Amino acid sequence: MSLYDRMQGGQPNLQQIQNDPIGMARQAGYNIPPNLAGNPQAMVQHLIQTGQVGGPMLQKVMPMMQKLMGK
């Protein structure tokens, strides 16, 4: 189950993701280096560059990332 799917199901909530973005990404099956934890934009770029997300998944993730970045 993807992180997006879990959020849609009510868990985890946005606060949990803000508190532990790397841990939540790992639970969803994504690999993000710990040094990117404080930079949501770098996290997304890493996922795209490593081929972990793209296409339709990227479309789903972007609104969630905008919330994390406070936009």
pLDDT at 2: 57
Q: What tens digit of pLDDT does each residue of 14-34 get?
A: 777 778 888 888 888 899 999
Average pLDDT, the chain: 77
DSSP secondary structure, 10-39, as one string: T-S-HHHHHH-HHHHHHHTT----GGGTT-
pTM for this prediction: 0.62
Q: What is the pLDDT of residue 50?
A: 92
Q: For position 12, what pLDDT does the model report?
A: 61
Q: Which residue has the tokens 């970045």?
A: 69
